[in-house]
Structure 1
Amino acid sequence: MSEQPHYRRPGWFTRNVANRLVAGLTSLGISVMGSRVLEVRGRKSGLPRQVPVNLLSLDGSEYLVSARGNGEWVRNVRAADGALVLLLGKRRQPRVATEVPDVDKVPILRAYLKRWKAEVGAFFDGVSADSTDEQIAAIAAKHPVFLLAPAA
């Protein structure tokens, strides 16, 4: 039996209240702590799919981190060869996402946890921004990270 990819499905409140509230504010041009709406082509339907995400800016680069693991948006970004759009209000920012190897994730995950631990800490198995590099590296494979670049 093969091991299932790590993913923690959002609960009712997250799906029906929190995500809708953040997406609604973001669509009005109000970013909640760096929030954006990620738009990516669905890998099965081919239709645009939207989900609110936390955009992490670190050392002049932008990253998307999946706190919940290999969820729908992660699989759609992979299937779309990294092509996505970040939305904030009426602004559309085409981006190309490149997946970051596990060995390079520690400083990115540390910064992500420092910024959003209260919101996403439950998905990191007790690891926090104050954890050792080894502890963060041990959970890195469970959390896809994408480096974003402007689309050509």
Structure 2
Amino acid sequence: MFSKKMEEAFNAQINAEFYSEYLYLAMKSHFEELHLNGFANWFGVQVQEEHAHGMGMYDYVHERGGKINLAAIEKPELKGDDTVAIFEQVLEHEQLVTSKINGLVDVAEAEHDRAALSFLDWYIKEQVEEEANVRQLLATLKLIGEDKKALLMLDRELAARTFVAPVIG
């Protein structure tokens, strides 16, 4: 049985995943305006990943017989316009998403919903990977500093990133 508490918690997380998609779309646009197409590509892949994460939860709620309640998505705001500040915001955001996923796990544990716990295990592992990837990029950006040539080399490297649809669950 899919409890009302689980349904509400999943709906809140679906909104958070789609907010992440929207935030990364704003960041993609920022880098497109700077003509840093590799960074824009990196964020484009993030947009696709966040959409897939939200839809994975959306499908799960339906599979469990729950009801989807879509709420308004908050307008994203960039906390800075330099590359390091943006990636610091990304790391902060991914840490927030991790805490929200952990909160969803807490609800599943309280509701004794083993199916939800099993499903959410993938998301927990994904968040570890997301945070690690952003930390690595942030460390690289801090090493680069003001070196424009190094920034352009990283931009070229990020242009090679492609979206691979996740197998969730």
Which is helix-richer, 1 or 2?
2
Which one has more relative contact order, counting CA pairs under 8 Å at least 6 apart?
A: 2
TM-score, normalised to structure 1, is 0.28
Query: Which structure shows the higher strand fraction?
Result: 1
TM-score, normalised relative to structure 2: 0.27
